[in-house]
Amino acid sequence: VIHYPYLSLRRSVEKWSFYWKGPSLIQASYDAAHGKPFILDAPGRRHTLVSTKQHIKDLDNAPKDVLSLQAAAKIMLQPKYTMHSFNWPDKKGLDGAPLTRTLRAFLRHDLGRILPKTRVRNEILLRNMVEESQGRPSISHVFHTLVASTHSLAFFSDDLVNDTEFMDAALDFIFRVIYIAEPLNLLPEFLQPMIGTLVGWMCPSQKVMFDKVRALAQIRLDEREQASRGIKGPEHRDCLQWVIEQTHKLRPWSADKVDPWSAERVTHEMIALWFGAMHSVTSTLNYVIQDLCLHSEYVTPLRMELESAAFKAFEATGEGLPLLESFIKESQRMNPLDLVGTRRLALKPFTFSGGHQVNAGEWVCTPLTPMLKDSAKWAQPNEFNGFRHVSSEILDSLKDRHVYGSIQAERPLPITDIREWQTWGTGKMACPGRFYASAMMKQILGLIITDYDCTMENVNQNRNFSWRTVYIPTTPCITLKQRAH
């Protein structure tokens, strides 16, 4: 009895320390577990972390109403307050999953039409930003601007990319989601509605974005209704239109609710997509450009690849450029955006192979960062090897081949292959937009590598800081100098 207050206080301090000691706690627990599931507690959350192939397969095969990605993301992002009252269901696919097919099939197969268009626009935007800043632009702003321009063309064609009010709000929206959601997750649940409503009202960018996209969605729905009566309208090839078309094809075996989506429902889906596609891609690009500055020996072979016929083949398909792809993949391995991956919230009790049990309300995930730097899988795991993920034939063809280390496997998997790569998620619920995201990153980096020499000041500065289970990249000072062709 005497020791109870002390023990209770100690447990509380240990839980709260997870917020700033997450990396060391997860790494130590991973090392001690030797492949077994292990548990870490944070305020209000208990995490079970699994890392073996069998346990990850268990996680992937769990019913959607038992282990839910939707429910986990809903708590993390607080969309009711950050995405203009979007209250998405805990179970994925309740009213269909048209976005998954849109990204995995339609957008992926349309990259050959989209990429030449985005390259021309982004080349002009990049040149203007470099000239206006006299070669010292904010690299974070550069990437956010180029990625937002690419998204706007891919998601909405030309309808919103030249709307300054929309583009400004869409850029601000990304930061507001994080600034609102994270503090809300620290509050007691009973305070979240009051504080969330107040803070959301004070951040108008989500409303501006919602109103603009909703108006466009309604126009598209009206055009579709007119076309059904024989009145032809303009043809659209973008994500917004593909989502609308897919919601009109819902069937009882693919969704619990089969009614076509309203303009409001379509809009909520699109702005949630916007956040996910912006945050992960811009953060990855931030790390890659830093790695390029820190490892300048890779610049010459990357330029040779980008200036060869391989680039034309890439732009026609969205696939290829193995050297650049390997460099990006190695940067992802060395600088993961999250300490953990494949987050799920248990809506019902679940038992893994081997008997480990997870109770309803607890979280399940994989220890992403330790897995990406595990010496049992990776040779010299803490060393950056930009061409680790190419084939031996490609590596042997390079001049000064000895400079670039050794390959990881004789037949390396592409960056979008998720069988041995957790950065995109796991199995059936892996990111369906990874093919588009990969192509976009290659194109944006290609513009910088071919046209500019990059140098970074203060190369010894911290490249990120951690909060809870997330790594947040710092913004380095990078100079871009126009190359003389």
Is pLDDT above 70 for 8? no
Is beta strand 363-366 parallel, antiparallel or unpaired with respect to 341-346? antiparallel
Percent of the chain with pLDDT over 90: 69
DSSP state of 483: -
Confidence of residue 213 (pLDDT cuts 50, 70, 90): very high
Domain hosting residue 426, numbered range:
4-482
- State the pLDDT at residue 92: 73
Determine what percent of the chain falls in helix, strand and coil, rounding each to the nearest 5: 55, 10, 35
Is pLDDT above 90 for 249? no
Global model pTM greater than 0.85: yes
Is pLDDT above 50 for 1? no
Q: What is the CATH number of the domain that holds 54?
A: 1.10.630.10
pLDDT, tens digit, for every residue of 450-465? 999 999 988 888 888 7
Confidence of residue 73 (pLDDT cuts 50, 70, 90): very high
pLDDT, tens digit, for every residue of 409-441? 666 788 999 888 889 988 888 999 999 999 999
* Amino acid sitting at position 55: H
pLDDT, tens digit, for every residue of 149-207? 999 999 999 999 999 999 999 999 999 998 899 889 888 889 999 999 998 888 899 99
pLDDT, tens digit, for every residue of 302-312? 999 999 999 99
DSSP state of 340: S
Encode 253-284: b = buried (16+ Cβ within 10 Å), e = exposed.
Answer: eebeeeebbebbbbbbbbbbbbbbbbbbbbbb
Residue, of 321 and 256, whose pLDDT is higher: 321
Query: Could you tell me the sign of the dihedral formed by the alpha carbons of 328, 401, 414, 48, in that order?
Result: negative
Q: Cα(334)–Cα(372) distance, rounded to whole angstroms?
A: 7
Domain count, the chain: 1
- Closest C-alpha among 257, 259, 258, 263 to residue 241: 263
DSSP of 190-248, one letter per residue?
GGHHHHHHHHHHT-THHHHHHHHHHHHHHHHHHHHHHHHTT-------SHHHHHHHHHT
Is pLDDT above 60 for 3? no
Asked if 223 and 233 touch (Cβ cutoff 8 Å), the reply is yes
In sequence order, the β-bridge partners of residue 345 are 68, 363
Mean pLDDT of 113-129: 96
Q: Does the annotation place 431 within a ligand binding site?
A: yes
Is pLDDT above 60 for 4? no
